[in-house]
A and B are shown apart, each in its own frame.
Chain A
Amino acid sequence: AQSVAQPEDQVNVAEGNPLTVKCTYSVSGNPYLFWYVQYPNRGLQFLLKYITGDNLVKGSYGFEAEFNKSQTSFHLKKPSALVSDSALYFCAVRDTRYNKLIFGAGTRLAVHP
């Protein structure tokens, strides 16, 4: 069965420092991986996705993610965190048998001034 794990409930980072939000996945077949961000009282906003090609994917707001097939990981990264990056981040994998996204539990990112 397809699944996604986000091992950290919360990540704390000082403003200006690099940030990493972790995601590991389990799929049969090709992995189609996504990252979304959710701000308070808002819907999910798409950040980036990996379908095929370059393992380093660049997305919105300066975020990027690295696909690592051997470690079955798709960690979200940003070189320099902003306080405004504080939000809930979701990793998701596509279950192509049923055309649905399977989401992780989410990681709350807190960036401190």
Chain B
Amino acid sequence: ETGVTQTPRHLVMGMTNKKSLKCEQHLGHNAMYWYKQSAKKPLELMFVYNFKEQTENNSVPSRFSPECPNSSHLFLHLHTLQPEDSALYLCASSQVPSGRLGTDTQYFGPGTRLTVL
């Protein structure tokens, strides 16, 4: 619907597993984002990529590892997660204009519902 797709939509993993979340945007945008949405907490920005370069890491634990191979794809690699990492992980993209930082609109994917057992 928004031009941002995420797979899988649901994921259940054990604490020792390694898995990856995938995000793809079909909007031609130059920036991509990972957010975490936990119950009863505001959305938390995790990572920002502008032109494939990571420009923001919001003190995210190293068990979360992002990868942005090109401007259309964004991955979040997961390993040795904790039960408190269970949440909805949202990907977003935007077209950041030169000279007017902050005016762009972020468009979100449907999210991956992650459950860590």
Contact = CB atoms under 8 A, between A and B. Distances in A.
Interface string A68-101: 0000000000000000000000100011101111
Interface residues of A, number: 23
Contact of A43 (B2, B31, B41, B55): B2
B45 to A, nearest CB: 5
A94 B13 CA distance: 34
A49 interface: yes
Contacts of A103: 42-43
Interface residues of B, number: 29
B31, B111, B113 interface centre (most CB from chain A within 10 Å): B111
A34 B94 CA distance: 14
Interface of B: 1-2, 4, 6, 31, 33, 41-43, 45, 48, 50, 55-56, 58, 90, 92, 96, 101-103, 105-111, 113
Nearest 8 CB-CB pairs, A to B? Answer: A96-B102, A43-B108, A94-B102, A44-B108, A103-B43, A43-B110, A32-B102, A100-B45
24 contacts: A32-B102, A36-B108, A41-B113, A42-B111, A43-B4, A43-B108, A43-B109, A43-B110, A43-B111, A44-B92, A45-B1, A46-B105, A46-B107, A46-B108, A96-B102, A99-B48, A99-B55, A99-B96, A100-B33, A100-B45, A100-B48, A100-B56, A101-B45, A104-B42
